[in-house]
Every structure is written in structure tokens, then in C-alpha cells.
């Protein structure tokens, strides 16, 4: 059975707050991207341009929310309010295992427009030590 795919150009706005080691950084940017409907699943894809770096980003927006950033370092994060998820993060010193604890997850997606909002608050920890806490607010609209 062939894949059913529908791609719609969208405007993406992302605001992120990162708290690490008592410091807080905020990033905000607007990009053009695509809302993709593929076999009943929804994806938001765009390319992030920041500090001269180009990073392809994909969110899968279904029962759970999955984030895949494919830049200098590949990031795969699964956000689940029910239980922590785990990912491997490759650093210059080797691979570390990160625990992703999602404290807030609000998602509204209207595939008919398409438009949506996503708010995720989460912490990353390794070896029982919190690496940082993150707030991600995403909006997209055709």
C-alpha cells in the first residue's frame, strides 16, 4: 500500500529557555518549514539557522512528541508525561545516557489548517545529576 503524504508549507516560531548551572539563556527564531501528514502521522520539519549553523529539525506530533535535531550533534528526544524517557547524546568525550523528564506537555494540532502549538517543559539528567531544564514553545501556521 503506497504511503499517503501531504506537505504544506508553514511558518514556524520557536522560543526556548535553557537553565544550566544557574544561568539562563533564551533563544527565539522564526523559520519556514513544512507540515507533513504521512500515513496518519503528523510531522513538522524545518531548518534552524543559528550562529551560522544550519540544523534540520523534525517534530513528530502524535500520541507522544518526538524531537529529532540533526546538526553537529544529533539529538533524539521523546517527551512523555507518564514516565522518563532515555536517549544517548554523543559528546566530544564519548556517548552519555540522558534521562528526559517531561514536566509539562501541551499540544494542539489542527491538521486541516494546518496550525498548531506545542509547549514542553523538561529536564535532562545523567547519572542522577540534572544537566539543565528547558522550556520549549513552538507555534506553526500555514
What rounded mean pLDDT belongs to the chain?
A: 92
134's CB contacts (< 8 A; 6+ apart) are 16, 17, 18, 19, 120, 121, 122, 123, 124
pLDDT at 128 over 80: yes
46's CB contacts (< 8 A; 6+ apart) are 12, 31, 32, 33, 34, 56, 57
User: What's the grid cell of residue 22?
Assistant: 544557574
**Beta partners for residue 116, in sequence order:** 109, 140
CB 105 within 8 A of CB 65: yes
CB 123 within 8 A of CB 130: yes
**Structure confidence at residue 93 (pLDDT):** 82
CB 132 within 8 A of CB 20: yes
Count the Cβ atoms, other than its own, within 10 Å of residue 64. 15
**Per-residue pLDDT tens digits for 74-125:** 889 999 999 999 999 877 788 889 999 999 999 999 999 999 999 999 999 9
Confidence of residue 1 (pLDDT cuts 50, 70, 90): low
What value does the mean pLDDT take over residues 114-137?
96
pLDDT at 73 over 80: no
Burial class (CB in 10 A: 0-12, 13-18, 19+), 129: exposed
Q: Is the peptide bond before 114 cis (omega within 30 degrees of 0)?
A: yes
Show the domains of the chain with their CATH numbers: 5-141 (2.40.128.20)
**First and final CA of the chain: distance in angstroms?**
29
What value does the mean pLDDT take over residues 12-28?
95
pTM of the complete model? 0.90
Confidence of residue 2 (pLDDT cuts 50, 70, 90): low
Amino acid at each position: 500500500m503506497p504511503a499517503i503524504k501531504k506537505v504544506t508549507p508553514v511558518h514556524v516560531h520557536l522560543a526556548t529557555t535553557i537553565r544550566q548551572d544557574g544561568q539562563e539563556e533564551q533563544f527565539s527564531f522564526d523559520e519556514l518549514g513544512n507540515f507533513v501528514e504521512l500515513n496518519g502521522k503528523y510531522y513538522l520539519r524545518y531548518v534552524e539557522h543559528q550562529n551560522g549553523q544550519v540544523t534540520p529539525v523534525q517534530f513528530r506530533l502524535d500520541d507522544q512528541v518526538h524531537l529529532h535535531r540533526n546538526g553537529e550533534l544529533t539529538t533524539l528526544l521523546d517527551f512523555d508525561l507518564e514516565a522518563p524517557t532515555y536517549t544517548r547524546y554523543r559528546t566530544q568525550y564519548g556517548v552519555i545516557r540522558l534521562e528526559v523528564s517531561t514536566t509539562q506537555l501541551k499540544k494542539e494540532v489542527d491538521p486541516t489548517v494546518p496550525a498548531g502549538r506545542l509547549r514542553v517543559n523538561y529536564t535532562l539528567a545523567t547519572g542522577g545529576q540534572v544537566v539543565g531544564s528547558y522550556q520549549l514553545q513552538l507555534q506553526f501556521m500555514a
